Amino acid sequence: MTLSEFDRDLIERCLSQAPQAWAEFVDRYIGLVIHTIKHTSKSRSLLVTEQDIEDYTAEVFLQIVNDDAAVLRRFRGNSSLATYLAVIVRRIVVREFVQRQHPRTTETGSSAESEESEGSQVYAFRLSLENPETVEDRQPSADQLLTNQEIVAQLLNVLDGNEREVVRLYHLEGRSYQEISGLIGVPENSIGPTLSRARQRLRHYVDS
């Protein structure tokens, strides 16, 4: 699905700070944000309260408007705005879950449910490697869904040294560029290019 003219106009009005534009943006997409937060927390077996959902929702919109709405400025219109935002929201909330060390549910399901949960986490990791502007808003099909965390380790083993560590810190621990730079002793401006190279390798490996 391509970007609608309505959303194209809405983005332009938000970026130009037109009156009521951001309020309209929030009204239009708050349902999507809340749904994505709930779905992401469920797939990771995390216990979230209504207050947690409110907090994560506020954080999502805050990050969307940060840096002069950089998230919207990066959007090239290659998909629907809803598709793009769904991927962005998943990335933000996964990082927030990690940084806040959000508790897991105490309920224990069947082994099949446990395996599905692990597979969902691995699929989310794969999804985070994709370009958020071209990825479709979809749930994993049976052949797309990886079944256990060992495959994540296998994917990381494809990478060398710093690439592996940068991907692990960024995608699995939710670290910022600044934090990664301090932890592994590389220039902050090298993190982005390193991630790009690593994503290309991983996508090639997964698709081969």
Q: What is the pLDDT of residues 39-75, one digit of tens each?
A: 888 887 888 888 888 999 999 999 999 989 999 999 9
What band does 101 get if pLDDT is binned at 50, 70 and 90?
Answer: confident
pLDDT at position 22 is 94
DSSP code of residue 47 = -
What is the Cα–Cα distance from 44 to 4, expressed in whole angstroms?
32
Residues with Cβ within 8 Å of residue 151, at least 6 apart in sequence? 122
Q: Is the pLDDT of residue 108 over 60?
A: no
pLDDT at position 126 is 52
More confident residue, 198 or 1: 198
Q: Which residue intervals of the chain bear CATH 1.10.10.10? A: 117-129+136-208
What is the Cα–Cα distance from 22 to 29, expressed in whole angstroms?
11
Q: Is the pLDDT of residue 6 over 90?
A: no
Between 70-79, 123-132, 159-168, the lowest mean confidence (pLDDT) is in: 123-132
What is the Cα–Cα distance from 205 to 6, expressed in whole angstroms?
38
In words, the CATH class of domain 117-129+136-208 is mainly alpha
More confident residue, 203 or 115: 203
Say what percent of the chain tops pLDDT 70: 68
In words, the CATH class of domain 5-108 is mainly alpha
pLDDT at position 151 is 53
Query: Which residue is listed with tokens 């301090």?
Result: 182
User: H helices of the chain, where?
Assistant: 5-15, 21-43, 50-73, 81-99, 111-128, 150-157, 161-167, 177-184, 191-207
Q: Which residue intervals of the chain bear CATH 1.10.1740.10? A: 5-108
Residues with Cβ within 8 Å of residue 68, at least 6 apart in sequence? none
For residues 143-161, give the mean pLDDT.
57
pLDDT at position 201 is 78
What band does 134 get if pLDDT is binned at 50, 70 and 90?
Answer: very low
